[in-house]
Structures are given as structure tokens and as C-alpha cells.
Amino acid sequence: MASNPIVDMRDIQFVLFELFDIERLGRFPAFAGLGRAECEESLRLAERISTDILYDANREADRVGIGYDPATGEVHIPAGMKKALAAYYDAGFLRIADSHDEGGMGMPETIAFSCNEIFTAASLSFFTYPILGHGNATLLRNFGTDEQRALYLENILSGHWGGTMCLTEPGAGSDVGALLTKATRLPDGGFRISGRKTFISSGDGDLYENIIHFVLARIEGDPAGTKGISLFIVPKYPLRADGSFGPRNDVLCTGIEHKMGLHGSATCAMSFGENGGCVGQLLGNEREGMRMMFQMINEARLAVARQGLAVGSSAYLHALAYARERLQGSDPADASAKGPVPIIRHPDVRRMLLRMRSYVEGMRMLAYYTALQIDTARHAAGSEAAEAGALVDFLIPICKAGCTDSGVLVASEAVQVHGGYGFCADYPVEQLYRDVRITPIWEGTNAIQSLDLVMRKMLLDPGQKMYGLWRERVMRTISESGGRVDGRYVSLVERAVGALDAAVAAMKARYESRDLLQVYADATVLQQAFFMASLAWMHLWGLAAVTEKLGVKPEGEPAGMEDDAEKSFYYGRALASRHYLGAEFPLFFGQIESVLAGERAVVESTPAFFSGA
């Protein structure tokens, strides 16, 4: 049973320690001696900060919003967010997965991921602040000079300074190669930066003493497109030789975006060099800005997948609490009963709750599995590390697109469970729905994820090795589930693998015949099918695990289990997996039929055929 309104801590423990047995990471020297108690201590601390401080700060920030003074360009962050961030930094969570040599806590990425799910479930706005600074620190470690690392790293990681990633420009949207921001060489080796950026998370504010902007720009004379882009470090306050702040750089927030959600996150329009005085330093090599940025983008995309999971978790638990308390209607299972009953007694409400739970728990298993592969790729050797890295590459677009779409779906269902009250600000679910809607858009829209999966990770992958590896892991779970899980669920997932084989072959044939528009038109549907199949894989794995815990196949009347908290948890988890496999997953085959049909209406359409003014 969940002990807080945002995440089911018992399920987090199940996935980490019982399903994936992450204590096995202790075989790597970096995690020698890793134990469950140490991991759970971090999880409990994340839970306390999130429920005691951050949860209420999130509601306050949504009501108050970000303050902006157009006369000075100053941005003000709600006080509750400052308190929560201070607790987060003081507890060392920004550096939880950094090695001891780097001043971190040396925990696995999988544990960091789960702790950050808890924080994000308490406030999606909150996590837009520290995550960007950590991303900048990663790039500084990998590409910065010794001088740059000495200037910036410790202040960013300690939480004194913040960070941004300035990619998007007005009118360019997802087409980063169309940027107009310009870098002009200076005699001292620096660069004068001029241009405008938009949708910049944490672009300004009074949370930090200084903000270190990482800005994509094109050096004068360099080629058009993404190949001509470089990356620059542009501090809000440049540093003097003695480490003190110099005069403010010519960097200004020209306005904050008025968004449907994320009211606690400072999303800024930024001007660089409006008065000709913005100075920055090159990071890494010239014309390698996108290569460096993509290293961070992969990490960021999994973080966005976590956002979909986290908001879905919070939305489900709020809907569950409401359904247990809201009295309405007669008991459909007992016509003789008098008085209204909690709406959780109504089958359609239970259907919605099981649907929500099945997606949340499926997302959690898939996202944690991906984080576990990151740990393995970093610390294993040889083929084990190579396979883990390939799985990460393959699963990132599936996780990002699938978890964010599902986060929106679960939040929408939570509103529906609340009825008319769900549409009102009296309950948190309307904010959750508003907040999560950005996640399918940012860090590469889900259409971009679909093209990445289908083109780069399959059709352009020699021998389709990544798909073959994913397929082999799924088939292994199918084999290991035989005799432990009802055969109808096992055969359903096995049949799905064959259906994906056919869909991938059809897409390959279209690609080889240069029918690229049809490939592009069907990419999103195929990505959605892969996500559904990946959740089915996870649910089959999880169902086999809880069957072992229960000692019996979890089907039929759960006699005697409702009074046993542990058995009740396992049986409830089994019901969620059964619901997904038996009621949700059959929709997958319609997606496959859509891909195989090759309907050409999209390809044949032109702007002239769309009606309307």
C-alpha cells in the first residue's frame, strides 16, 4: 500500500530489489559492498524531502507562478521552490550517481533514477532546475579544459550556480540546424555571442548566485546546418582572474512564457548580446556542438521519460485515494445494500484504476531496466557492456515517447475518475494533467523519437543488431515464463514478437524501395507498438516474479489474501499485469495492422486537400 500521495514505495522496492536484484551491481568495483539498506536509506530520504517540503511547494508554485519584472528583466522563483532545492542540494542528491572521486555519493544510476522519480512525482517544475546544471557539469567533465572545470564544476554541483541549455530559437523549433545565433572571434580567444533563444528552462531567476548558459551558436564563416554548430559557455556573471564576479554579461531574460502548466518553472525567452557585449568561451572543439549536445540529450530524454512515469504515478495515487473516499451510487455487487458506496466499488472505476496502475508499473519496470543497462554499460566489460549500451540506445526513444504519452493518458484518466471535481483546482489532478502535457514535446518531440527509433536504431543499423538484441531479451523472458505464467499471456507476447518481425520487415522493404514518405508516415505507429510490446515484456517478467512470491498462479478469487499486506500487494500487482496483458495489450495488434496496411492517404495528401479557412 502506498504511504504517500505521489509514489508507491513498495512497488519501487519490488522493481529494484525483487525483480531486477540491483544488489548484483555490487560485483562491479565502483559499487563494491552495495547493499539494500544503503539504497533504501537514499529512497527514504528522497521520500521525506518530497512529501514534507516539495509537495506543498509545488502547489504553491502553481498558484503563485514565476515573477517577472519587464523593467529590469529580473525573474523571481516561488519561495517554496527555494526551500525544496536547498534540501535537495544539502542532502547530496544532485551528485548521488557521481563517483566518490568526483565528490559524489557513488550510487548506481538506477538508484539515482528511482530517487529522482520520487522528487519529480512531487513536482515536475522542481526538476527543471537542478537537472540542467548537472547536465552542464557532465559536458564540462567530458569536454572542458582544466581551467573551465576549475572555474565552474564545483559551484554548479554544490548548487550555488545553476545551468541552462540554450538550443531552441524563435521560428526554428525542433530544427536546431536553422539557428541564427552567431559567434564572432575575439583577439583574446573568446567569442562575442549574439542571438535569441526561446523556451529556455531556468533561463533566469533568483535561485542561484550565477547561471552558466550553454549556448549553441555558429561561428562566422562556418557551414549551415547542424555540422556548423559550436557550443559556448556563457555565464550570467563572468569571472575575474581572482574568481570574483565581473560586471553582468550582456544576457537578459526578455520575458517568461505563459504556459498551460509548469507554472513553477522559469521558462524564459533569452537575448544574448543585445548591446554587443555578450562574451562566451568555446566548449570542446569548433563545429562539434551537436555531437557534444547529443551526449547530454540521451540522458535528458530518459529523464523526460521519468517525468511521464512520475506524474503518472502521482495521478494514479490521487485517483485511487479519491475513489476510496468518494461516495456515490449503490453497490453493483449487492443490490440489497443501502446507502451510497465508495466509487471504487463500481467496475468502470476499477477498470480505470487498473489501467492506470498497469501503465505506471509497466513504465517503472521499463525505465528502471533502461537505467540498469546504463549502469552495466558503464561498469561492465566486453560484450556485456556493449550489449547493455546497445539496449540503452534502442530503448531511449521507446521510453521517452512511450512514457510521456502514457503519462498524459494516466493523468487524463485521473481527471476522469474525479468527475467534475477533476476539472477544478480543488484537487491536484488538473495540475498534473496540465504539467505533464509538455513532456511529449520537449527534448525532441515524440515524432522525432519515432524517427530516431525506426530510422537510426533499426533501418540504418547494420544487420538490425539493436532490434535483434531487444528481441532476444524478450524471447528469453517468454521462455523463462513458461509454466510459471498462464499460457495465454505467454503466447500473446510471443505472437507479438512475430508481428513486430513482420512490421519491421515491411518498413525495411519500403525503405529499400525508397518509399521514405510512407516510412515517415508509419514511424509513430510502429514506435507506439514497440512501447506496448516493451511494457508487455516487462509485465510478463513481473507476473512471473509475483507468481513465485505468492506460491500460486494469481488467478481466480484471492481467498485470504486481502488480510495479508504482502500477499495483497503481490496479488494487486498480478492483477495490474493481467489487465495490461489481457485487456490493453491486444490493442497492439491493431497498431501492427495499421503499419502493415501501408495506407497512403498521408503520403498522397497535400496542404490543398485539408479543409478549413
The whole-number pLDDT of residue 70 equals 92
Cell of 142: 567530458
78: left (phi over 0), alpha (psi -120 to 50) or beta: beta
Evaluate if residue 558 carries a pLDDT over 70: no
Residue positions counted in the chain: 613
Q: Are 311 and 119 in contact (CB under 8 A)?
A: no
The whole-number pLDDT of residue 210 equals 97
Evaluate if residue 565 carries a pLDDT over 90: no
Evaluate if residue 418 carries a pLDDT over 60: yes
Q: What is the pLDDT of residues 345-364, one digit of tens each?
A: 999 999 999 999 999 999 99
Evaluate if residue 401 carries a pLDDT over 90: yes
Evaluate if residue 252 carries a pLDDT over 90: yes
194: left (phi over 0), alpha (psi -120 to 50) or beta: beta
* Paired strand residues for 279: 192
What are all long-range contacts of 21-29, with beta carbons under 8 Å and residues at least 24 apart? 22/108, 22/110, 22/111, 22/372, 25/108, 25/110, 25/372, 25/375, 25/379, 28/375, 28/379, 28/380, 29/379
The whole-number pLDDT of residue 594 equals 97
Q: Are 432 and 411 in contact (CB under 8 A)?
A: yes
Q: Which range has the worst mean pLDDT, 76-90, 293-307, 388-402?
A: 293-307
The whole-number pLDDT of residue 432 equals 98
Q: Domain segments of the chain: what residues? A: 445-555+563-601
Q: How many CB atoms lie within 10 A of CB 473?
A: 17
Evaluate if residue 2 carries a pLDDT over 80: no
Catalytic annotation present for 47 = no
Q: What is the pLDDT of residues 35-86, one digit of tens each?
A: 999 999 999 999 999 999 999 999 999 999 999 999 888 999 999 999 999 9
Using CA atoms, how far residue 19 sits from 349, 471, 551, 575, 611, in Å, is: 29, 20, 16, 17, 52
Q: At what angle do helices 587-597 and 516-550 cross, to 10 degrees?
A: 160
Q: How confident is the model at residue 138 (pLDDT cuts 50, 70, 90)?
A: very high
The whole-number pLDDT of residue 447 equals 97
Tell me how far apart the alpha carbons of residues 545 and 93 are, in angstroms, rounded to a whole number.
31
Mean pLDDT of 569-574: 95
307: left (phi over 0), alpha (psi -120 to 50) or beta: alpha
Mean pLDDT of 400-424: 98
Q: How confident is the model at residue 3 (pLDDT cuts 50, 70, 90)?
A: low
Q: What is the pLDDT of residues 435-456, one digit of tens each?
A: 999 999 988 999 999 999 999 9
Mean pLDDT of 254-260: 95
Phi, psi of 212 (to 5 degrees): -105, 105
Q: Are 106 and 38 in contact (CB under 8 A)?
A: no
Q: How confident is the model at residue 1 (pLDDT cuts 50, 70, 90)?
A: very low
Burial group, residue 456, by CB count within 10 angstroms (0-12, 13-18, 19+): middle
CA angle 544–546–552, rounded 5-degree value: 85
190, amino acid identity = G
Q: What is the pLDDT of residues 174-230, one digit of tens each?
A: 777 788 999 999 999 999 999 999 999 999 999 999 999 999 999 999 999 889 999
Using CA atoms, how far residue 33 sits from 21, 23, 25, 26, 161, in Å, is: 14, 9, 9, 6, 33
SS3 196: strand
Q: Are 330 and 337 in contact (CB under 8 A)?
A: yes
Q: Are strands 251-256 and 267-272 parallel, antiparallel or unpaired?
A: antiparallel
Helix/strand/coil percent split, the chain, to 5: 60, 10, 30
* In 380-486, alpha helices (H): 382-418, 429-436, 446-451, 465-481
The whole-number pLDDT of residue 563 equals 75
Mean pLDDT score of the chain, rounded to an integer? 94
The whole-number pLDDT of residue 561 equals 72
Q: Are 323 and 417 in contact (CB under 8 A)?
A: yes
Given 443, 584, 593, 599, the catalytic residue: 443
Q: Are 297 and 442 in contact (CB under 8 A)?
A: no
Cell of 514: 525508397
- Of 172 and 484, the structure prediction assigns the larger pLDDT to 484
